[in-house]
C-alpha cells in the first residue's frame, strides 16, 4: 500500500493495544472517531474496524524502527500512546540485570524509539499529543524494582520531552494507573481473596478501577483541546497515591 492508505480519520499509534488497558484505549479512540495503529505481538480478538494491527515486538529495536518507518510513510500520525508494558516482580536481591534490561526495553526504550520515529510528522504538523502509560508504582512499590524504576523513568522522560517539544506544539503527558480490572489483574487477584481485599482497602474510593476510566483520561489528554497541559502525570488510582488511607 502507498500513501493512499491514509485515512480521513486522525491517526493514533498505540503500543500493546490487543489486550488490557491498551485495547480499551483503542476501542475508546475508535468510538471517538480516530484510526488506530496497533503495535502488539498478537492481533486483538476483536476490532470494530478503523484499526491496523502490526505484529511487532516493541523490545526489538530493529523490528520496531522498521514498522514505525512503514506506518510513518503511510499515515500522518500525530498522536502516540506508549502503553505496552511488562512486569517482572522481584525484590532487589532477586532482580537480575537481564530482567531489568527486559523491562526497560519494553517500558522505556520502546517509548523513546516510537517518539523518535513519529517526531518528523508531528513537527511538520506543528502538532502532537504523546501519552506515556506509567504507573502508581513509579512512586515506589515493594517487589517491583525493575518495573517501578522503569515507570519512574517514564515520568522523567515525559517532563524532558514536554520541554524539548513544546515549541513544536507537541504536548507530552503521563497517566499513572493504580489497580485496574484487566483480565490479567482479575485472574491474579480473584474477587474475595484476602490479597484482593488488601488492595481494595488501600484505595480511598474503595474499589478497583476500570480500564475505561484510564482510557477516558488518555482520550482527554490526546484531544486537540488539551493543548495547554504538558509534562504532567495524572494518577488514575482511586486516590491511593494521595497520602495514607486506612
Ligand atoms: P496487559 O494486559 O499485559 O497488556 C499489555 C499489552 O502489551 C498486551 O497486549 C501485551 O501483549 C503487549 N505487549 C507486552 N510486551 C510487548 C512487546 N514486547 N511488544 C509488543 N507488545 C507487547 O497489561 P495492562 O494491565 O493492560 O497494562 C497496560 C499498561 O498499563 C502497561 O504499561 C502497564 O504497566 C500499565 N499499568 C497497568 C496497571 C493495571 O492494574 N493493569 C496498573 C498500572 C499500570 P502480550 O499479552 O502478547 O504479551
- 171 domain residue, yes or no: yes
Burial of 196 (0-12, 13-18, 19+ CB in 10 A): middle
List the Cα angle 32/34/36 in 5-degree steps.
125
CA of 86 to the centre of ligand 1 (A): 6
The residues annotated with a catalytic role in the active site are 147
Residues 6+ apart with CB under 8 A from 17: 23, 25, 26, 36, 38, 39, 40, 44, 81, 83
CATH code for position 82: 3.40.50.720
* CA of 58, closest atom in ligand 1: 19
Q: Are 67 and 45 in contact (CB under 8 A)?
A: no
pLDDT tens for the chain, 246 residues long, are 445 467 799 999 999 999 999 999 999 999 999 999 999 999 999 988 999 999 999 999 999 999 999 999 999 999 999 999 999 999 999 999 999 999 999 999 999 999 999 999 999 999 999 999 999 999 999 999 999 999 999 999 999 999 999 999 999 999 999 999 998 788 878 888 898 899 899 999 999 999 999 999 999 999 999 999 999 999 999 999 997 644
- 199 domain residue, yes or no: no
Strands 128-133 and 77-82: parallel
- 245 domain residue, yes or no: no
CA of 49 to the centre of ligand 1 (A): 21
On whether the pTM is more than 0.85, the answer is: yes
3-state secondary structure of 235: strand
Number of independent structural domains in the chain:
1
- 198 domain residue, yes or no: no
User: CB neighbours (10 Å) of residue 82?
Assistant: 30
- 243 domain residue, yes or no: no
- 191 domain residue, yes or no: no
Torsional sign, CA 229, 50, 178, 64: negative
- 197 domain residue, yes or no: no
Main-chain dihedrals φ then ψ at residue 140, nearest 5 degrees: 120, 130
Q: Which protein residue has the closest C-alpha to ligand 1 atom 2?
A: 20
- 203 domain residue, yes or no: no
Amino acid at each position: 500500500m502507498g500513501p493512499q492508505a491514509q485515512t480521513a480519520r486522525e491517526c493514533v499509534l498505540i503500543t500493546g493495544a490487543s489486550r488490557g488497558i491498551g485495547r480499551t484505549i483503542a476501542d475508546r479512540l475508535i468510538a471517538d472517531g480516530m484510526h488506530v495503529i496497533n503495535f502488539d505481538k498478537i492481533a486483538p480478538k476483536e476490532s470494530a474496524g478503523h484499526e491496523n494491527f502490526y505484529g511487532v515486538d516493541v523490545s526489538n529495536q530493529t523490528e520496531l524502527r522498521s514498522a514505525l518507518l512503514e506506518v510513518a510513510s503511510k499515515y500522518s500520525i500525530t498522536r502516540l500512546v506508549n502503553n505496552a508494558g511488562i512486569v517482572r516482580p522481584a525484590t532487589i536481591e532477586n532482580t537480575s540485570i537481564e530482567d531489568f534490561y527486559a523491562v526497560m526495553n519494553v517500558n522505556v526504550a520502546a517509548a523513546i524509539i516510537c517518539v523518535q520515529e513519529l517526531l518528523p510528522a508531528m513537527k511538520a504538523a506543528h502538532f502532537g499529543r504523546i501519552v506515556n502509560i506509567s504507573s502508581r508504582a513509579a512512586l515506589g512499590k515493594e517487589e517491583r524494582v525493575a518495573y517501578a524504576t522503569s515507570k519512574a523513568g517514564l515520568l522523567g522522560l515525559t517532563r524532558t520531552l514536554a520541554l524539548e517539544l513544546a515549541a513544536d506544539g507537541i504536548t507530552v503527558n503521563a497517566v499513572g494507573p493504580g489497580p485496574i480490572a484487566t483480565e490479567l489483574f482479575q485472574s491474579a487477584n480473584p474477587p474475595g481473596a484476602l490479597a484482593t481485599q488488601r488492595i481494595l482497602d488501600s484505595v480511598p474510593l474503595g474499589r478497583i478501577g476500570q480500564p475505561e476510566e484510564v482510557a477516558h483520561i488518555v482520550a482527554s489528554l490526546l484531544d486537540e483541546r488539551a493543548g495547554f497541559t504538558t509534562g504532567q502525570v495524572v494518577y488514575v488510582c482511586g486516590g491511593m497515591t494521595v497520602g495514607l488511607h486506612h
